Structure 1
Amino acid sequence: MDSIIFDLDGTLWDPTETVVAGWNHVISRYKGAAKEVTIADLQGIMGLPVPEVGRKLFPDADEEIRQKIMDECCDMECLVLAKQGGRLYGQLEEVLKALSAQYKLFIVSNCQAGYIEAFYEYHQLQNYFTDYENPGRTGLSKGENIKLVMDRNHLTSPVYVGDTEGDMKAARFAGIPFVYAGYGFGEVSSHDYVLERLDGLLELF
């Protein structure tokens, strides 16, 4: 193994308590076109591509309104997270510091452009990561973005750490082992390794 590629939401942090008020502020401007969301709602869509999030949270809104709501929520999310951050799992910085001494670390998330940068800006953890990618920048699926990061960084034997079925499928698409973050938001049908807590990575690797 030469590297570890991480999902973000449900794997490295939980941002939902920070962003829920921002989402509902945006939604309130659309006069009943969509209902307010809860923390549980947001936790339930973590890891999904942005268009799928819109369809799941706002099924009754027409496509144009749904897209406007999602665009504004995504913009609000990045602004709020850059100023307030999210809840980091475990001893995240200590874990990253230990792992980065031995492996190259990366983030590939199904988020909008600016989201990973907001995570970096508030928590100042960017020095532990070599590269990152998301569909907001590339328009690609998570599996394709994993392969993109692998190719441009010349990785030969990475693993992917994530918490959802989509993460598992993305790792399978990229042809690399999947480490299931069992403490996160989702459930998976298969995995190569499982973590009960984030610092279990130090024991696993």
Structure 2
Amino acid sequence: MPAYDYLVFDLDGTLSDPAEGFVNSMNHALLAFDYPTRPASELVPHIGPPLEITLAKLTGSEDGPHIQALVDKYRERYGASGYAENTLYPGISEMLERLSQKDGIRLGVCTSKRADFAERILKQFGLYHYFEFVSGGDVGIAKWQQLQRLLADNRISKRALMIGDRHFDLSAAAKNQLPSAGVLWGYGSRTELDEHGPAHLFAHPEEILNII
């Protein structure tokens, strides 16, 4: 029997690289409210956390309605073109294809990104059919709450492995007493991931196959 019955993947920084669409959409939102645009080097480290957290940090604002308006402006561009600017990490398609052929392994996605955007990205890369579910986030919903709901709804079991590139993914799993794994091709450093005690650290997508 495999050690895990569900493999739950983060999207941004784990399955695909959102950098171009993220940077362009973030600057679209900032410019719309008269904030200075930022170079990619300043914005890319913010990939991963929920949008409202990132926009609050970038603007220094604690005004909830204002932050929501910024999120809406980001999503305006992201929904029109930003999602299509994602690129797939090498080896992801092959890894998912091989996982889909393994008995007793079920696949899902849990992302802070809104579910409809996540589904569009997966479909554009021909990956959507590999996953039983796509759990998307929204303002005020943390990833640990998404996993909590998946458990409560029996969409996953306690033998689910959360796989992601940032500490948010690993800490969300820990809060629900789930094991986690970090990937090193995304936006989190080895140090960031190690601090949260992952059961596995993967340097290449094909290494995920080794655990089953």
Interval of TM-score (by shorter of Structure 1 and Structure 2): 0.7 to 0.9
**Of 25, 36, 60, which residue of structure 2 is paired with 1:22?**
25
What is the distance in 2 between the residues matched to 1:13 and 1:154?
23
- Contact in 2 for aligned 1:79/1:118 (Cα 8 Å): no
CA drift of 1:181 comes to: 0.7
- Contact in 1 for aligned 2:13/2:187 (Cα 8 Å): yes
Does 2:151 correspond to 1:152? no
CA drift of 1:156 comes to: 4.3
Q: Which residue of 1 aligns with 2:164?
A: 162
Specify the SS of the correspondent of 2:107: strand
What is the distance in 2 between the residues matched to 1:97 and 1:85?
23
For structure 2, the 5+ residue unaligned runs are none
Specify the SS of the correspondent of 1:124: coil
User: Aligned runs of 1:158-197 on 2, under 5 Å?
Assistant: 158-186=160-188, 187-188=192-193, 189=195, 190-197=197-204
Letter in 2 for 1:2: D
Specify the SS of the correspondent of 1:161: strand
Q: Which residue of 2 aligns with 1:118?
A: 120
What is the distance in 1 between the residues matched to 2:36 and 2:63?
13
For structure 1, the 5+ residue unaligned runs are none
Identical-residue share of aligned pairs (%): 23
Greater shift, 42-51 or 183-192, is seen at 42-51
**Of 179, 191, 198, which residue of structure 1 is paired with 2:205?**
198
- Contact in 1 for aligned 2:32/2:73 (Cα 8 Å): no
Q: Which residue of 2 aligns with 1:89?
A: 89
What is the distance in 2 between the residues matched to 1:67 and 1:154?
31
Letter in 1 for 2:80: L
User: Aligned runs of 1:54-133 on 2, under 5 Å?
Assistant: 54-59=55-60, 63-82=64-83, 84-102=84-102, 103-133=105-135
Structure 1 residues 154 and 56, CA gap change in structure 2 (3 angstroms):
closer
Letter in 1 for 2:160: P
- Contact in 1 for aligned 2:108/2:131 (Cα 8 Å): yes
- Contact in 2 for aligned 1:54/1:67 (Cα 8 Å): no
Q: Which residue of 1 aligns with 2:40?
A: 39
CA RMSD across the alignment: 2.2
Greater shift, 22-31 or 6-15, is seen at 22-31
CA drift of 1:41 comes to: 3.3
Q: TM-score, normalised by structure 2?
A: 0.84
How many residues are matched?
201
CA drift of 1:90 comes to: 2.0
Cα shift readout 1:77-128 (whole Å, capped 9, x = no counterpart) = 132144x341211221111111122211111111234321221232221100
What is the distance in 1 between the residues matched to 2:95 and 2:101?
10
